[in-house]
Amino acid sequence: MNSTELCFLSVSRLAKLIEGKDISPVDLVTAYLARIELLEPRLNSFITVLSEQALDEARKAEKEIAAGRYRGPLHGIPMTAKDLFLSKGVRTTLGTRIYDTRVPDEDSTLIARLKEAGAILIGKANLNPLAYGEIAEEGHFDYGHMHNPWDPSLVSGGSSGGSGSATAAGEVGFALGSDTGGSVRIPCALCGIVGLKPTYGRLSRRGMTTLSWSLDSPGPMTRTVEDNALVMNAIAGFDPKDASSADMPVPDYTKALTGDVKGLRIGMPKEFFEVPVDPTVKETVLRAIEEMRALGATVHEVTWPLYHYYESISTILLLVEGAAAYRELVCTKGSGLYEPLRMRLEAGLFVSAADYIQAQQSRVLFNRQCNELFTKVDLLVGPSTPITATKIGSSDITIGDTVMGVTALHTQYLSPFNITGLPSLTLPCGFSAGLPVGLQIVGRAFDEQTVLRAAHAYEKATDWHLRRPSL
Amino acid sequence: MVEELDRQSFHFLALAAGLDIDDPHMERLYAYLKELLPKIRGEEEKSRASSSEKDLHTFIQRYMPKLRRISELDLAGIDPAMVFQPPSGRRDE
């Protein structure tokens, strides 16, 4: 096996090789560092690469494993985290030069749990500044654009774009991202990998810098569904230091991966096809849903009329919560921010409290209607994004007769589930003109198992996840 | 609800929010808000974009093309989706 093949192996496969001492964590980190060095000029996935620190950690892991202290499937696996997860002793920039030299003195809960599981932080991943927006215009990125491994002239998607491109390009074993309106799932869909935004409260947000208290969720970004389950096993669970953390039992997610969807009732909201969607993406996703039917699931059209209000609700919530989260920054250092970002942060200061409360009331109706769908079906499915990756620098795209902003399109199927807080996963389900298309699978609250089960069965029956960008 | 954000109200609110009202950027922010606030309330037909504000108008239209009026919904009797924590202390009284 050559070095490139090694870097593209799934975490589950790498884990077996490490546990069996067929490869050492040092060799693995060395291979990934070489690949990062080779690809970074084209991808720009990282803000900080931790070469020496990662090699030190790999040597420690190698010794532990040699001494019979194997910690589990993430032991010795190199990973990255979006550069808004606090990392002890490693600068955490939030994607803005304003924080270029800020070095936290503790780890976020999720990074701490991954380190405890033996994973090796090989670098901090690039992102849209403050993880706000997913805008592709020139000038927006303080640390440069993030490029799509399938075509570096295209966006990798935001805001966890560096995490997405690094995982898809085999620069890491897996990544952590954060998702306020699709920011884990967009780059996963556009880069052809698996991304899960679990139920709100399932993963600790402590030390994951807040953009919106009520919409933010961390999420694992992986090359396979099984890898996603493995990472979830390491990071899920109650965190008493996070007020929004749910004190709920955590299952072994890998046990849900039965390869079987027989009897599952899958709902396809008709409203998903009443908004602009590229015809090829639509066709690809419908084919994937047919594949799930062929595997034994039943497919039902369902209706969710309030879906069309998602943008009003999420816009108001994000404007206000984002403004509150970054009020001090924008008041004291606003001139250091890209102007459209600065204006959105400032604008939230002018939205009335009454409008915000009404958005939260509307959210209740919105969620109630969505939850009612789950009395009829076990899962909702549809496209992850209505378009594939677009050119860097292009902020608008035409679908049919409609000119729309790329960000508005990318979030139209994903942001609704930040409002509901329900678990939502994207996985590759085909290609359009050589670019990945994502299938979204949504489940009931705290039922990530069924989401992973359906995604795994589909993945097992297809080979989209095995395709690699030819970098 | 402020129906029309006039300049005086804007300055008052900006100052109260802690923004530097002497920053030249504030003119752009004012123009942006005159577009944005009616839009998020579903009142875009009341919006009057001047030619100098046209780029902002276009920006907002492109980024929020599908906004619907929350005020269309019947919100009577609906508690907002917010976390309310009961006060700590004895609960057995």
Q: What is the residue-level pLDDT of chain A in tens, covering all 471 positions?
A: 899 999 999 999 999 999 999 999 999 999 999 999 999 999 999 999 999 999 999 999 999 999 999 999 999 999 999 999 999 999 999 999 999 999 999 999 999 999 999 999 999 999 999 999 766 566 678 999 999 999 999 999 989 999 999 999 999 999 999 999 999 999 999 999 999 999 999 999 999 999 999 999 999 999 999 999 999 999 999 999 999 999 999 999 999 999 999 999 999 999 999 999 999 999 999 999 999 999 999 999 999 999 999 999 999 999 999 999 999 999 999 999 988 899 999 999 999 898 899 999 999 999 999 999 999 999 999 999 999 999 998 888 888 888 888 988 999 999 999 999 999 999 999 999 999 999 999 999 999 999 999 999 999 999 999 999 998
Tokens (6 digits) for A50: 């931790």
Residue A162: per-residue pLDDT:
98
Band of pLDDT at residue B65, cut at 50, 70 and 90: low
B76/A contact by beta carbon, under 8 A: no
User: Nearest residue of B to residue A408 by CA position?
Assistant: B63
The nearest CA of chain A is from the CA of B40 a distance in Å of 6
Exposed / middle / buried, residue A283 (Cβ in 10 Å: 0-12, 13-18, 19+) = middle
In 3-state terms, chain A is what percent helix, strand and coil (to 5)? 45, 20, 40
Tokens (6 digits) for A212: 């919106």
Asked if residue A18 lies in contact with residue A75, where contact means CB atoms within 8 angstroms, the answer is yes
Q: How far is CA A443 from the centre of its chain?
A: 16
Catalytic residue list contains A82: yes
- Whole-Å CA distances, A253 to A144, A206, A285, A334: 36, 22, 25, 43
pLDDT surpasses 60 at B47: no
Tokens (6 digits) for A199: 């139920």
Residue B49: per-residue pLDDT:
45
Residue B3: per-residue pLDDT:
54
B67/A contact by beta carbon, under 8 A: yes
Band of pLDDT at residue B50, cut at 50, 70 and 90: very low
Residue B48: per-residue pLDDT:
45
Please name the member of B10, B37, B75 whose beta carbon is closest to the beta carbon of A362.
B75
Between vectors from CA A271 to CA A290 and to CA A314, what angle results, nearest 5°?
120
Exposed / middle / buried, residue A295 (Cβ in 10 Å: 0-12, 13-18, 19+) = middle
| CATH class in words for A3-466 | alpha beta
Distance CA B47, CA B39 (A): 8
Upstream peptide bond of A384 is cis (omega within 30 degrees of 0): no
A405/B contact by beta carbon, under 8 A: yes
For residue B66, the chain A residues in CB contact (below 8 A) are 275, 308, 311, 408, 412
The nearest CA of chain A is from the CA of B93 a distance in Å of 27
Q: Mutate which of B22, B29, B63, B68 to test chain A, going by most A C-beta atoms within 10 A?
A: B63
Asked if residue A281 lies in contact with residue A247, where contact means CB atoms within 8 angstroms, the answer is no
For residue B33, the chain A residues in CB contact (below 8 A) are 347, 350
The nearest CA of chain B is from the CA of A179 a distance in Å of 18
B66/A contact by beta carbon, under 8 A: yes
The nearest CA of chain A is from the CA of B67 a distance in Å of 5
Contact at CB, A359 and B23, closer than 8 angstroms: no
Contact at CB, B66 and A311, closer than 8 angstroms: yes
Give the containing element (helix H, strand E) for B11. helix B7-17
Q: Which of residues 409-448 of A touch B (CB under 8 A)?
A: 412
Catalytic annotation, pick one of A183, A204, A415, A424: A183
The strand ranges marked E within A293-433 are: 298-302, 379-383, 396-399, 402-405, 424-432
The nearest CA of chain A is from the CA of B89 a distance in Å of 18
Whose tokens are 């090694």? That residue is A6
Residue A396: per-residue pLDDT:
86
Contact at CB, A358 and B70, closer than 8 angstroms: yes
The nearest CA of chain B is from the CA of A84 a distance in Å of 24
User: Nearest residue of A to residue B62 by CA position?
Assistant: A405
For residue B18, the chain A residues in CB contact (below 8 A) are 327, 331
B6/A contact by beta carbon, under 8 A: no
Residue A335: per-residue pLDDT:
93
- Whole-Å CA distances, A221 to A111, A178, A194, A229, A432: 14, 10, 6, 10, 22
Distance CA B77, CA A249 (A): 33
pLDDT surpasses 80 at B66: no
Give the containing element (helix H, strand E) for A46. strand A46-49
User: Nearest residue of B to residue A331 by CA position?
Assistant: B19
Exposed / middle / buried, residue A403 (Cβ in 10 Å: 0-12, 13-18, 19+) = middle
Residue B51: per-residue pLDDT:
45
Contact at CB, A364 and B78, closer than 8 angstroms: yes
How many CB pairs below 8 Å do chains A and B form together?
Answer: 119
Q: Mutate which of A137, A140, A312 to test chain B, going by most B C-beta atoms within 10 A?
A: A312
Between vectors from CA A93 to CA A90 and to CA A96, what angle results, nearest 5°?
160
| C-alpha dihedral sign at A159, A163, A250, A298 | positive
Three-state helix/strand/coil letters over A367-400: HHHHHHHCCCCCEEEEECCCCCCCECCCCEEEEC
Catalytic annotation, pick one of A24, A87, A159, A165: A159
Which residue ranges make up each domain of chain A? Answer: 3-466
Contact at CB, A361 and B40, closer than 8 angstroms: no
A369/B contact by beta carbon, under 8 A: no
For residue A402, the chain B residues in CB contact (below 8 A) are 65
User: Nearest residue of B to residue A409 by CA position?
Assistant: B63
B64/A contact by beta carbon, under 8 A: yes
Residue A402: per-residue pLDDT:
82
Residue B44: per-residue pLDDT:
53
Catalytic residue list contains A314: no
Q: What are residue A90's DSSP bridge partners?
A: A87
In 3-state terms, chain B is what percent helix, strand and coil (to 5)? 50, 0, 50
Give the containing element (helix H, strand E) for A25. helix A25-43
Q: Which residues lie below 8 Å from residue A248, measured CB to CB, with a gap of 6+?
A: A201, A202, A238, A446
Q: How far is CA A379 from the centre of its chain?
A: 19
Give percent of chain B with pLDDT exceeding 70: 55
Q: How far is CA A162 from the centre of its chain?
A: 10
Q: Which of residues 288-307 of A touch B (CB under 8 A)?
A: 306
Mean pLDDT over B13-40 rounds to 90
The nearest CA of chain A is from the CA of B11 a distance in Å of 11
